[in-house]
Amino acid sequence: MSTVTDSSFESLETRRITIFLLVAFGLAGLTALVVFSLGGLTDSPEVIPGLPLWLVLVSTFYMFSPAVANVVTRAVTDEEWDDLRLRPAIRSNGRTYLVAWLAPLGLSIAGVALFFAFFPAYFDADLTVLRQFLPPGAPIEVVLVAQLVQALVLGATLNAAFAFGEEFGWRGYLLQKLLPLGRWRAIVGLGVIWGAWHWPLVSLGYNYGVGYVGAPWTGFLAMVWMTTATGTFLAWVALRAESVWPAAVAHGVINAVGSLGVLFSTPETPALLGPTVVGAVVVVPWTVVAVGLLLRSSVFDVDALD
């Protein structure tokens, strides 16, 4: 692993990093404040029946704040626009895209299995949550397979489009600015920053709900753990392809499959631990992969991957 020297810090573009963080965190925090003032996550008015205003605001202004920060920072500091990392390069990075698409499903399933292995009392073999939305006698196995396929398809398409708002900022811009610190420090540092960016939503009760043990501080820590672990994988696919799109695909799939464990859990399941990908136990397989990638620092060497 590389060491941090005085020249490493001197080569950091601190002004651009500061502006980026101010815009990304400022817009996200302002959006969370608006959501709070309009009733939070429980009493938010509906834009149309079934679509609460808070979801619209979070899916647009909040999730796209890193992308906005990328554009604003470049404009304010007269930065060039020739390294946006928007070239998909699918043909030359087919395996990277395949891993970005399928690995999140495998790691999420492993995490859910681990959670229920540790906490079998929360496992609902009757799949009550799912069955309440199905007609009597519906083939549950077929429905589960359809859910997985749908998650993979939507994750790589619709979800990836929304995830782009984050990836264009985090992996497409800020990661590049932190690389003078060394790849593993840049990746871990970005993971912590990304997690902290989620804290206003966690404070509102998103991801973990309200009233859990140690709220909201334990939720803050669990979120940082999750973003650092998954963010390492996202950084790997982004650096390997020199493009934000594999990261957007992987991020979209994570969002799509990350809640599938809820189908197998009881209503009393503690969200802080699982069964979704933000749960501290479910993210353990991601952590193992992240540690492996960071220890094998050569996997982040783009030249070594050619």
**Is the pLDDT reported for residue 167 higher than 90?**
yes
Q: What is the pLDDT of residue 305?
A: 36
Q: What is the rounded CA–CA span in Å between residue 102 and residue 61?
A: 28
Task: Please tell me the total number of residues recorded for the chain in this structure.
Answer: 306
Burial class (CB in 10 A: 0-12, 13-18, 19+), 32: buried
3-class SS of residue 205 = coil
SS percent in the chain: helix, strand, coil, step 5: 70, 0, 30
Paired strand residues for 123: 265
pLDDT over 90, % of the chain = 82
**Is the pLDDT reported for residue 184 higher than 70?**
yes
Per-residue pLDDT band for 154 (boundaries 50, 70, 90) equals very high
> What average pLDDT does the structure give for the chain?
92
Assess contact for 173 and 69: CB atoms under 8 A: yes
Q: What is the rounded CA–CA span in Å between residue 208 and residue 217?
A: 11
**Is the pLDDT reported for residue 129 higher than 90?**
no
Average pLDDT over residues 218-234: 98
Per-residue pLDDT band for 304 (boundaries 50, 70, 90) equals very low
Q: What is the pLDDT of residue 2?
A: 52
Q: What is the rounded CA–CA span in Å between residue 34 and residue 279?
A: 27
Q: What is the pLDDT of residue 303?
A: 41
Packed helices 284-295 and 183-197: angle between N→C axes, nearest 10 degrees: 150
Per-residue pLDDT band for 7 (boundaries 50, 70, 90) equals low
Q: Which among 188, 174, 193, 180 has a CA at the least distance from the CA of 20?
A: 174
**Is the pLDDT reported for residue 306 higher than 50?**
no
What DSSP character marks residue 78?
Answer: T
CB neighbours (10 Å) of residue 275? 28
Average pLDDT over residues 123-143: 83
